[in-house]
Structures are given as C-alpha cells and as structure tokens.
Amino acid sequence: MERLNDVGPQIRRLRHEHGWTQDLLAAKLQLHSWDISREGVAKVEGGYHLVSDRQLLCLSRVFKLPIEAFFPMEMLK
C-alpha cells in the first residue's frame, strides 16, 4: 500500500524523543482541536492517514517546532 503522508516517521521519532506514548500524543492533539485516538496516531505514524494542513499545524503547536521539522530532510533540499 502506498504511504499517504511523508511526516509519519518524523512524528514517531519526535514522540519517542519526548518519551510520549501514542495515547499521550493523541490527548495533546485533542487539546489542540484534533479529534484523534491512539489508533489514529498509529495510522499517521505508519503513513496510513493523509495529514491535512490544519493537522500539521496542530502537530507543530504540540511539539513546539516549525512545520519543516516534520518533513524528511531530503524533501527540504
């Protein structure tokens, strides 16, 4: 199956770096108006969910990082 996003692996890496579970990330995203479950986070991280611009903005706010931080380095060159 084709990946639906390029940001999933970076989200997984950042979540691990913060020591957060998928449940905790889902709760933090819910506080920023993204109705997502642990299963939804798993789908995003696995590339099985298309991430919208609004959802990317939520991720940026939760991780306190610029949007570019969620894309693979080779895409930013």
What pLDDT digit, counting tens, does each position of 3-35 carry? 999 999 999 999 999 999 999 999 999 999 999
Query: 15 with 64: CB under 8 angstroms?
Result: no
48 falls within a domain = yes
75 falls within a domain = no
Classify residue 28 by burial, with Cβ atoms within 10 Å: 0-12, 13-18, 19+: buried
CATH of the domain at 57: 1.10.260
**Looking at residue 76, what is its pLDDT?**
63
Residue 51 lies in domain: 8-65
The Cα–Cα gap between 22 and 40 comes to: 9
What pTM did the predictor assign?
0.92
77 falls within a domain = no
- How many domains does one find in the chain? 1
The Cα–Cα gap between 72 and 7 comes to: 7
